[in-house]
Structure 1
Amino acid sequence: MIQESELPEPEATRRDTDVTESSRASRGWWDRNADEYQRDHGAFLGDDRFVWGPEGLDEAHAALLGPAAELKGKDVLEIGAGAAQCSRWLAAQGARPVALDLSHRQLQHALRIGAEGLGLVQADAEALPFADASFDLACSAYGALPFVADPVQVLREVRRVLRPGGRFVFSVTHPIRWAFPDEPGPEGLSVAASYFDRTPYVEQDEQGRAVYVEHHRTIGDRVRDVVAAGFRLVDLVEPEWPAWNSQEWGGWSPLRGNLIPGTAIFVCVRDE
């Protein structure tokens, strides 16, 4: 398995990229970097915790999917599951989770930790391989949505596989963060770019092929995407940085987390 550190340093740029290039880049990046990601962040994520983002907001306390006692017997789809930590927590509550990820290597980590009580599926979130109305709930903690060129297509697919009354909760990088440098220290506290510039962030190789892609949507864009997909938005959560959390994770840190939001969590319902 080739690690990112063994490859030539990619060029960071802002440019347009389509659905196919974004998907291909994401699959390759996560396959190459899954080992390092789980090594660096596995202790914080735990094997069977449901954490919504670097702030450490835990579903056991937030109950954004509903009270834990009411999860028993529910069919739940986790999108962008990584090593399926969230799905493992759901299974412990008596739910029937399916952990879906684009990356084969991430799902190998799910098997390494343990997949008892889980369904594991490798697939693209823009074309979910499930029948209509297959799930009661769906969730995604920083999975898929930040990396896809067509978020409305993902949301429509999630709505399709949810049963009427089903809830979809997803977290993404808070859009305001795109205006600031991705640095955890004081240098990350000054606005460096336009919040309204939707041009994707792309890292590309020497041939100009994207090896990492992340897409920016403003808060308003995200709300409109949810509505366009047929969901009703019932809550938008911006977790505050807790006093107990002293870790830095990329551009997330106690310094920045106490001043600007780092994560946005959208709670959506399919009414019919």
Structure 2
Amino acid sequence: MSEDPTALVTRRQAGNAETVRANRDWWDGAAAWYQAEHGEFLGDTRFLWCPEGVYEDEARLLGPVAGRRVLEVGCGAAQCSRWLAMQEAHVVGFDLSARQLAHARRIDDGLGNAPLQLVQADATVLPFADDAFDLACSAFGAVPFVADSAAVMREVARVLRPGGRWVFAVSHPFRWCLPDDPGNGGLVVRDSYFDRRPYVEQDEDGVATYVEHHRTLGDRVRELTAAGLVLLDLVEPEYPGDLGDRWGGGWSALRGRLVPGTVIFVTEKR
């Protein structure tokens, strides 16, 4: 969920066109704030999977990356792509938000790096050829922000070569039962886990300004298998005791000790 205290919040249906427009505009408007708020924790040249501090250089969920063709789905400012490029992977990153991609260029310029290969695109309609990539990855990008996440799975499977790996991290579905509160109030089950209506922030005229879609664990598995992907692992990172509340928002040491915050799906194309 976003961190706009003035937003009018509801749970209601939101289709593809409304979701795309709202989230493209929200991420364009919030890109500078997001990078200023979280950029230090993310690191310009590290691959962070989640607020629990799981880094790819330690977790190795993608397997070997050197020489591989890698697609980052919903890359934001391309911190993960930059780390992959430093490991000698051939990387393409894409995002719906032009402003997020502009921050990727800013970081590359500041580091004196050769610019990454970046594309503005919708995750449900990828502008890439079949079997174009060896690996695909996403750290909280795109998947929760589309109305049809099954289409994302089909598209990623299409552009992966047989045997290619697709690994993505999203908020753990159980967190949708709880208020987005880092304190004791965020430990009380309020909503049904099975309520799949998206979380919508909207203006006074009912126009959506931010949309996030909920799927259960079972929904995700069915989306993956229907796309021809095999689930290899499902990782639920524990919250480190020394992390504190550095990420902010609904992420806290209190909640992290008791309920999962993130789930990472490790899959492979048949």
TM-based fold match above 0.5: yes
Q: Determine whether 1:253 maps to 2:248.
A: no
Separation in structure 1 between the aligned mates of residue 193 and residue 176 of structure 2, nearest angstrom: 6
Q: Determine whether 1:44 maps to 2:38.
A: no
Structure 1 unaligned segments of length 5 or more: list them: none
Task: Compute the displacement of 1:9 (Å).
Answer: 3.1
1:168 equivalent among 166, 169, 172 = 166
What is the correspondence of 1:137-176 to structure 2 with a 5 Å cutoff? 137-176=135-174
Normalized against structure 2, the TM-score is what? 0.95
Task: Compute the displacement of 1:118 (Å).
Answer: 2.0
Identity %: 62
Separation in structure 2 between the aligned mates of residue 117 and residue 269 of structure 1, nearest angstrom: 29
Preserved contact between residue 38 and residue 247 of structure 2 (Cα < 8 Å): no
- The C-alpha deviation readout for 1:118-172, integer Å capped at 9, x for no partner, is 2110000011001111100000000011111101101100011111110000011
Normalized against structure 1, the TM-score is what? 0.94
1:95 equivalent among 89, 106, 109 = 89
The corresponding residue for 1:63 is 60
**SS at structure 1 position matched to 2:31:** helix
- The C-alpha deviation readout for 1:209-240, integer Å capped at 9, x for no partner, is 11100011111111111111111111100000
Q: Which moved more, 1:85-94 or 1:116-125?
A: 116-125
Preserved contact between residue 174 and residue 260 of structure 2 (Cα < 8 Å): yes
Separation in structure 1 between the aligned mates of residue 152 and residue 200 of structure 2, nearest angstrom: 20
The corresponding residue for 2:19 is 22
Q: Determine whether 1:108 maps to 2:102.
A: yes
**SS at structure 2 position matched to 1:55:** coil
Structure 2 unaligned segments of length 5 or more: list them: none
Separation in structure 1 between the aligned mates of residue 247 and residue 183 of structure 2, nearest angstrom: 9
The CA RMSD over aligned residues, in Å, is 1.4
Separation in structure 2 between the aligned mates of residue 53 and residue 94 of structure 1, nearest angstrom: 23
Separation in structure 1 between the aligned mates of residue 242 and residue 130 of structure 2, nearest angstrom: 42
**SS at structure 2 position matched to 1:172:** strand
Q: Determine whether 1:72 maps to 2:71.
A: no
Task: Compute the displacement of 1:117 (Å).
Answer: 5.7
Task: Compute the displacement of 1:249 (Å).
Answer: 2.3
Preserved contact between residue 248 and residue 254 of structure 1 (Cα < 8 Å): no
**SS at structure 2 position matched to 1:28:** helix
**SS at structure 2 position matched to 1:236:** strand
The corresponding residue for 1:268 is 267
Separation in structure 2 between the aligned mates of residue 248 and residue 256 of structure 1, nearest angstrom: 13
